[in-house]
Amino acid sequence: MEKEADGSIRHYLRRPLPDAGAPIKGVLDWPRRFDHMQQHAGQHILSAAFAETFGIQTAAFHMGKNISTIDLGTSSLEDETAAKAEQTANRMVFKDQPIIAKRVEKAELDRYPLRKPPTVSENIRLVIIEGFDYNPCARGTHPARTGEVGPIKIIGWTRDRGHIRLEFVCGWRALALMSKEHRDIRQLTSLLQTHADDLCSRVEKRLEDCHTLEQDLRRLKEQVLAFEADSLAAQGETDGGLAVIARVFDERPMKECRKLAALIIEHHPRCVVLFVIKSGSHLQVTCARGEDVAIDMNALVKQSLPRINGKGGGSPNAAQGAGEAKISAEDMIGYLKKALAEISES
């Protein structure tokens, strides 16, 4: 394990060292090290490409486990700009130029067209790609030549606090990503029975079809709910001129039950709706009244909720709540009907 502390990298061992003088074997995780070398040098090249071609400087760099990012000193980025910077970066990769890391004195800095000034005044380390990038870099590891960086691929970007945060991958990461995306495309073309060149248009057509079907389904569900509302209202129990529609539903969405209750009371002003929904180990309650009914639904629901250790509320016109299924849904409906009758008589 390694950590950065007091300006240095500290390595921690899993167990104590053997006796003094005993030989110790250290093993470098080369795939991980080389991956970091590719990403770090790739960042140098990509940042230099943006600076060289468009005058856009890099404000920050973060190397992630899967994807790395650079924060560009601009508030917007066009697709064409990103594509040209990517091409410039990869041209430098294919040139396979040496990447030189060297220590210089402060007095020597004027000899180099630095992309940014160093953050230290002594023991200055420069990473140089001759004729392309001269960059102070205190500790970063880099391959010997630009060709070892492998392909540099921009994945995308977002706006972040006045900058553009650009995501990219290099080398083996880029190849792994392209392989995965190629597999995904092959699977999609097989599922949609189309060619890769037509994949986007086929997906757009499917999305349009789905949107149309969703609209049709929504209209049909509204029609079914309206029919169900009329049917339930016709079956309501009449008590002193008041129609009571009491029903138990199993695993039905509360939103749909509230809509159903609203449709009933919209066309039947002298009715009260009492719904209880079984939902796993919970019970949900929704009650509503027509405009000619004076009974407070909020008071009715709150009176019933202690029986299921529940919480909820609403308005005098409609209220709902939920709690534990400590009693059956049928018992809860029975209690609501009894409580409603007692309030009506008082």
Please provide the DSSP assignment of 198-221 as one string: GHHHHHHHHHHHHHHHHHHHHHHH
Which residue in 24, 21, 26, 84 sits closest to 51, CA to CA? 84
Residue 177 belongs to a domain with what CATH number? 3.30.980.10
81 contacts: CB under 8 Å, gap ≥ 6: 54
Which residue in 91, 96, 83, 194 sits closest to 148, CA to CA? 96
What is the C-alpha to C-alpha distance for residues 240 and 293, in angstroms, rounded to an integer? Answer: 12
- Indicate whether 4 belongs to any domain: no
Looking at residue 321, its pLDDT comes to: 95
- What is the amino acid identity at position 102? K
| Number of C-beta neighbours around residue 1 at 10 A | 7
What is the C-alpha to C-alpha distance for residues 67 and 44, in angstroms, rounded to an integer? Answer: 15
286 plus 164 within the same structural domain: no
270 plus 161 within the same structural domain: no
pTM: 0.69
CB-count exposure of residue 3 (10 Å: 0-12, 13-18, 19+): exposed
Task: Answer with the one of 148, 173, 191 that is the final residue of a domain.
Answer: 191
Q: Quickly state the pLDDT bin for 182 (edges 50, 70, 90).
A: very high
231 plus 155 within the same structural domain: no
- Indicate whether 11 belongs to any domain: no
Percent of the chain with pLDDT over 70: 98
- What is the amino acid identity at position 71? D
- Beta carbons of 44 and 27 less than 8 angstroms apart: no
Residue 278 belongs to a domain with what CATH number? 3.10.310.40
Query: How many domains are there within the chain?
Result: 2
Range of the domain at 246: 220-345
283 plus 150 within the same structural domain: no
- Indicate whether 22 belongs to any domain: no
Arithmetic mean of pLDDT over the chain: 91
- Indicate whether 153 belongs to any domain: yes
- Indicate whether 271 belongs to any domain: yes
- Indicate whether 142 belongs to any domain: yes
Beta strands 124-129; 133-136: pairing state: antiparallel
Q: Quickly state the pLDDT bin for 7 (edges 50, 70, 90).
A: low
104 plus 232 within the same structural domain: no
129 contacts: CB under 8 Å, gap ≥ 6: 44, 45, 48, 92, 97, 98, 99, 100, 146
184 plus 36 within the same structural domain: yes
Residue 49 has pLDDT above 80, yes or no: yes
- Beta carbons of 48 and 133 less than 8 angstroms apart: yes
DSSP state of 106: G
Task: Answer with the one of 175, 191, 207 that is the final residue of a domain.
Answer: 191
177 plus 227 within the same structural domain: no
- What is the amino acid identity at position 91? R
Instruction: Record the tokens describing residue 184, joined without a space.
Output: 């995904």
- Beta carbons of 148 and 38 less than 8 angstroms apart: yes
- Indicate whether 63 belongs to any domain: yes
37 plus 178 within the same structural domain: yes
- Beta carbons of 174 and 93 less than 8 angstroms apart: no
293 plus 172 within the same structural domain: no
Looking at residue 195, its pLDDT comes to: 92
pLDDT in tens, 98-119: 999 999 888 888 888 888 888 8
Q: What is the mean pLDDT of residues 200-206?
A: 93
Looking at residue 346, its pLDDT comes to: 64
Task: Answer with the one of 174, 191, 208 that is the final residue of a domain.
Answer: 191
Looking at residue 233, its pLDDT comes to: 87
- Indicate whether 202 belongs to any domain: no
135 plus 280 within the same structural domain: no
Looking at residue 240, its pLDDT comes to: 63
Residue 209 has pLDDT above 80, yes or no: yes
Looking at residue 15, its pLDDT comes to: 79
Beta strands 68-72; 58-63: pairing state: antiparallel
88 plus 156 within the same structural domain: yes
290 plus 337 within the same structural domain: yes
Q: State the residue for tokens 């180099």.
A: 112
